[in-house]
Amino acid sequence: MSNSIVIPDMAKLNTGNRNSVIAGKDDDMKLVFLGFVLGDEEFGVDLHLVKQIVMPPPVTWVPRVQPHILGVISIRGNVVTLIDTRLLMGFDVSDRRNSARVLLVDVRDERIGLLVDAITQVRRVPVQAFEESPDLDEGSMTDHVVGIIRPDKQTQVTIIDLKEILLEAMR
Amino acid sequence: MTARLLIVDDSRAMRAYVRGSLRGFVDCEIDEASSGFEALRLLPRTDYKVVITDINMPDINGLELIKFIRASERHRDVPIIIISTHSSKQDQEKALELGASVFLPKPFTPPDIVDVVASLIKEKGGES
Amino acid sequence: MSKNSQGNKAMKEFLAEAQEFVESLSRNLIEIDKAVKTGEPDPDMVNEVFRGWHTLKGLSSTFGVEPLSLLAHNEESLLDDIRLGRKVFTPHILDSLFESIEEVTKILDIINESGDIKATGYRDNRTKTTPEQSPDSGGAPDYGKDDAESFIDPKSLIDAEVLEVLTEFEEHRLRINLQQGQAIYKMRIGFSLMSIDQELEDIKGRLRPIGEIITYLPSSESNDPDMLDIDILLALHQSWEDLEAALEGVGAGISTLVPGRDTPKAASDTMIPAPPTAEQPSDSSMTGIDSAVASEIESPVISERGLVKKQKEQLLSLRSVSQSVRVDIGKLDHLMNVVGELNIIRNAITKISEEMRSLSEQRELAIELHRVSRGFDRRLAEMQEGILEVRMVPVSQMFDRLSRMTRKMSRGVGKEINLVISGADTEVDKLIIEELSDPVMHIIRNAIDHGIEDAAERRAVGKPEFGTVALTAYQKGNHILIEVEDDGAGIDGEKILEAAVDNGYLSKEAAASLSEREVLNLIFLPGVTTTVKANELSGRGVGMDVVKTNISALSGVVEVQSELGIGTKFTITMPVTLAIIPALLVSVDENTFAVPLNTVAEALTISGADVNKVMGLETFTLRGQTLPLCRMDGFFGRPRHGAIPKSSRLLVASLGQRRLGLVIDELLGQQDVVIKPLGYSLDETRFFAGATDLGDQKLSLVIDTAAVIEEFFASNEDFTQPAAQAE
């Protein structure tokens, strides 16, 4: 596999094991994450969680819903709820960037769109390079940080349990 | 040579099960009939190597079908497999008297039916 | 791989077939239940129920669904005993059979939900009273006893040739008929193999009213490969003349196996001839006259035509014999989506052709394009209609389930209920049927529980002891109406008012001014129930308010009429389909929304000067009536302050008796829209029935007018009172 992003469509997740919830593993026991940018930080999620990446389509505003719900978009004829990942993660809202993309993920039998500022690349790291969740300050979001990886000296990627965050927000 | 088979059963699922069991194990093409009448319609048109039929069917029952097949020019010697549950001993005996070759009680496993069909085709193949 | 997918296919077929089985079984059981009350159930139907369980047993054991095969095994043996006359239907046996259907449904649900074919999660929680142990355990029937006295050995009367192919059941039925002294005839009738199914149905229809068909014996003597002679074994219950009349024009050779009282002496081998005009080709069993007539018809011209016909029939035979296919509703939704997209493309083409027409040098092409696109429009509309039709299923699917539940409930509360069903063949969108079952069930439950009085009470007021619940469906324009009417005690308006005042919905003074109809409609408010105490059946904290909410969610309306002492009638009005609806496109704060046309009574233009204030609320006087106004921008959380701008638009929306004026910015037009559902993540907003794609790549939300009206009146309680009078 080269640098191109290959999104497996129907990867099944073994939800029994927490490690497998947050990261896919490839053949040589490397963890595979999709890296994306919010503000000036890079985050990573289990690659298998992401079904598709699309350019942001026109958004339709939905009145009287939580602020992190941007509205609905049309994906291949289906209505998909679009979530502002920045608001969801407690970031401030700043200008929409040209590099913005929508990650499509499946949560509770529903396909959901997540607006992120940019996609970086698929990050593959050996299992031993995965640093378990550091003890950060108590906070709603830090609970969902499962670990950190450092693909190179300059880069640090925070791995989050996106599914859990979404489930909590949708509760 | 590929053998042509006829399955007569009013249950779609049962027909699909038999078909699925045989596929890949017995070199055959399978026709399906969902009633005795459909079977009567198909029988005069094709030479079947084996007929598989249920007994309890609406209108024309399996016993009548066996008698009809045995009386016909074309299929008087065709092996007939009866698939049925063990509900009536009497019906089972009648079926064998009328000339059914094998009684295969439900439930049967895929290897069961494969074995029976394969051995019947082989027997007939040796004759002709 | 292919092996696997075949296995999957068989499994899917199994689940689908099991579901069909449940449906037909419950239909048959309800018929049997009725028949048992008045006499003997139709043996054919009993045998069909037996065969159903028999098939289910075979399938479930084959596919390894143990709880199901165990259940089916027990019921199969029970039904076997009954069909062979060893037991009779008793209320207990029927109860247990009805319960078993519920159990099968539970098992299938578990398999469907968990994908666990072994249904390991299933527990049979019923307290087992095997029919043997129950108080009235069937025992020996009073008809068709196989005791020594009345025993007639069919072997002494009927050919061994015939007997050898009868199943145990058929032999039993033959014996019963012999004991009853019925005449037995064997009728040879020639059938064309291609149309044998229809021809046989026709014969069945003729013979059933006058006797019992024991079996069909195909004869292999026919010379013509396209023809088949079938001997029908009939036990004649009526007179010989009736038989002659029934078979008029069929062309049947009748031989008497066991003569009856009025069998003519000459009838040992009679021929009821087919008229020469009948399309009955010559056949070996016909008598001389008929063959002569037949050969006369075989003139060269006709035989040539006959040849063509035969070839056609052969072509037909290559097709699948089954006339129907089962389709996943998801696939239909997909097709509907595609049609929706085509609609969008169509709109774009129309727009282009209009633009082209304004360019003089393109006029001719534009006219051509316009013509072509008109043709396309028509075809597209046909396709849309066709797909909608495929989604339609008869309400009988729902009614069957309801009659089962009704029977169970009425036995549960010890009231005799006669459920009268009409219009079961009315067709409704599959989705509606599924969503509507629960609300209708709840209404019926209410009727049985609170509506119908107990037998003593009914006697006292001179009503028949049987309570009647009428379940009716019919189509009216683009709507389906479902009515549930009972002949019970009716709803006591006083009690309703009391409950509504207690719950703080309105003041005593306001209560006094309500019309009868308005009072009845109060039962749809949360907390206002038709009775003081909830019991086991109607309790569970679900009230009519939930019924109403569920029905509104499907863009339906429920209304109630009731007369004290006479009865109560609920009427549910639903759109025929949910998939495509005509809608008004409106703009609110620069966003486009769709409003279902059927919820809008009229559209007006108003300005701030037309607006009055009543208790701080903006209202408009429409033909002498005060109409409360809801400014949609404010309702959607984007209020613009100040008066309503000049030439704003007003949509008059109504829900049952309530009316509300929706103030919007602009009316953009009218269009048929395909509604697509919103995801669960938007459950918190109730004001949208879905979204629709209008072709600009951007979705528009479809406003759920009913929800808006409800929310508006809930948050402006002073207007709870419907249709306030103008001062």
DSSP C450: I
Going by C-alpha positions, the residue among C266, C4, C10, C43 that lies closest to residue C144 is C43
B98 pLDDT more than 60: yes
C-alpha C619 chain-centroid distance: 44
CATH of the domain at C199: 3.30.70.260
Q: Is C160 left (phi over 0), alpha (psi -120 to 50) or beta?
A: alpha
B13 vs C: CB within 8 A: yes
Q: Which residue of C has its CA nearest to B9?
A: C55
- Domain borders along chain B are 3-127
pLDDT band at C16 (very low <50, low <70, confident <90, very high): confident
C94 vs A: CB within 8 A: no
Q: What is the pLDDT of residues C33-65, one digit of tens each?
A: 888 877 788 888 888 888 888 888 888 888 888
The verdict on C386 and C404 lying in the same domain is no
Domain boundary among C575, C609, C636: C575
Looking up tokens 């001014």, which residue turns up? Answer: C513
With touching defined as 3 or more inter-chain CB pairs under 8 Å, the answer for chains A and B is no
Q: How far is B77 from chain C (nearest CA, A)?
A: 15
* Partner-chain contact C678 A81, CB within 8 Å: yes
Alpha-helical runs (H) found in B1-128: 12-22, 36-42, 62-71, 89-98, 110-127
Residues 6 or more apart in contact with residue B83 via CB below 8 angstroms:
B9, B14, B18, B52, B53, B54, B104, B105, B106, B108, B113
* Partner-chain contact C17 B24, CB within 8 Å: no
Decide: C649 and C603 in contact? Cβ < 8 Å.
yes
Give the span between the Cα atoms of A149 and A156, in whole angstroms: 6
Q: What share of chain B is helix, strand, coil (3-state, %, to 5)?
A: 45, 20, 35
Interface test with A, best of C338, C699, C704 (most A CBs within 10 A): C699
Give the span between the Cα atoms of C402 and C400, in whole angstroms: 5
Alpha-helical runs (H) found in C139-287: 160-163, 168-179, 196-207, 240-246
* Partner-chain contact C698 A58, CB within 8 Å: yes
pLDDT of residue A83: 94
CATH of the domain at C656: 2.40.50.180
Which chain B positions have a beta carbon within 8 Å of C322's beta carbon? 34
* Partner-chain contact C165 B98, CB within 8 Å: yes
Which chain A positions have a beta carbon within 8 Å of C330's beta carbon? none
pLDDT of residue C612: 87
C725 pLDDT more than 70: no
Pick B97 or C114 by higher pLDDT: B97
Instruction: Report if residue C120 sits inside a domain.
Output: no
C686 pLDDT more than 60: yes
* Partner-chain contact C677 A80, CB within 8 Å: no
Angle of helix C43-62 versus helix C66-83 axis, rounded to 10: 160
Which chain C positions have a beta carbon within 8 Å of A80's beta carbon? 679
Both tokens of C508, joined, read: 């005593």
Range of the domain at C480: 395-491+530-575
The verdict on C266 and C342 lying in the same domain is no
Which chain A positions have a beta carbon within 8 Å of C684's beta carbon? 64-66
Which chain C positions have a beta carbon within 8 Å of B108's beta carbon? 62
Give the span between the Cα atoms of A34 and A116, in whole angstroms: 12
pLDDT of residue C578: 64
pLDDT of residue A141: 58
Instruction: Report if residue C513 sits inside a domain.
Output: no
* Partner-chain contact A77 C341, CB within 8 Å: yes
A106 pLDDT more than 80: yes
A3 pLDDT more than 60: no
Looking up tokens 């300059």, which residue turns up? Answer: A154
Instruction: Report if residue C131 sits inside a domain.
Output: no
CATH of the domain at C7: 1.20.120.160
Beta-carbon-side half-sphere exposure of residue A65 (alpha carbons within 13 Å): 27
Domain B3-127 has CATH 3.40.50.2300: yes
Mean pLDDT of the C682-702 span: 84
Give the span between the Cα atoms of C386 and C182, in whole angstroms: 51
Decide: B41 and B65 in contact? Cβ < 8 Å.
no
Instruction: Report if residue C518 sits inside a domain.
Output: no
Q: How far is C421 from chain B (nearest CA, A)?
A: 28
Going by C-alpha positions, the residue among C430, C343, C347 that lies closest to residue C380 is C343
Rounded percentage of chain C residues whose pLDDT exceeds 90: 7
Tally of domains in chain C: 5
Between strands C600-606 and C591-596, the pairing is unpaired
A84 pLDDT more than 90: yes
C-alpha C399 chain-centroid distance: 6
C681 vs A: CB within 8 A: yes
Element (H, E) at C659: strand C658-664
Q: How far is A73 from chain C (nearest CA, A)?
A: 7
Q: What is the pLDDT of residues C529-569, one digit of tens each?
A: 655 333 433 443 457 888 887 887 776 788 888 888 889 99
Q: Which residue of C has its CA nearest to A167?
A: C681
Both tokens of C90, joined, read: 């008793």
B67 vs C: CB within 8 A: yes
* Partner-chain contact C164 B59, CB within 8 Å: no
* Partner-chain contact C681 A61, CB within 8 Å: no
- In order of start, what are the domains of chain A with their CATH numbers? 18-170 (2.40.50.180)
Which chain C positions have a beta carbon within 8 Å of B94's beta carbon? 164-165, 167
**What's the first-to-final CA gap in chain A, in angstroms?**
38
In single-letter form, the type of residue at position C658 comes to R
* Partner-chain contact A72 C699, CB within 8 Å: yes
Burial of residue C137 (CB within 10 Å: 0-12, 13-18, 19+) is middle
pLDDT of residue C86: 86
Alpha-helical runs (H) found in A55-161: 85-88
Instruction: Report if residue C705 sits inside a domain.
Output: yes
Interface test with B, best of C13, C76, C325 (most B CBs within 10 A): C13
Which chain B positions have a beta carbon within 8 Å of C6's beta carbon? 16, 19-20, 23
Looking up tokens 């508006």, which residue turns up? Answer: C712
The verdict on C342 and C296 lying in the same domain is no
Q: How many CB pairs under 8 A join B and C?
A: 130
Both tokens of A38, joined, read: 């919010």
Q: Which chains, if any, share at least 3 CB pairs under 8 A with chain B?
A: C
C676 vs A: CB within 8 A: yes
Give the span between the Cα atoms of C185 and A9, in whole angstroms: 66
* Partner-chain contact B13 C63, CB within 8 Å: yes
Both tokens of C382, joined, read: 């046909």
B99 vs C: CB within 8 A: no
Domain boundary among C542, C575, C608: C575
The verdict on C381 and C399 lying in the same domain is no
C712 vs A: CB within 8 A: no
Most distant CA pair in chain C: distance in Å? Answer: 102
pLDDT of residue C644: 83
Task: Tell me the three state secondary structure of residue A109.
Answer: coil
B31 vs C: CB within 8 A: no
Domain boundary among C516, C549, C575: C575
The verdict on C174 and C278 lying in the same domain is yes
Give the span between the Cα atoms of C452 and C716, in whole angstroms: 37
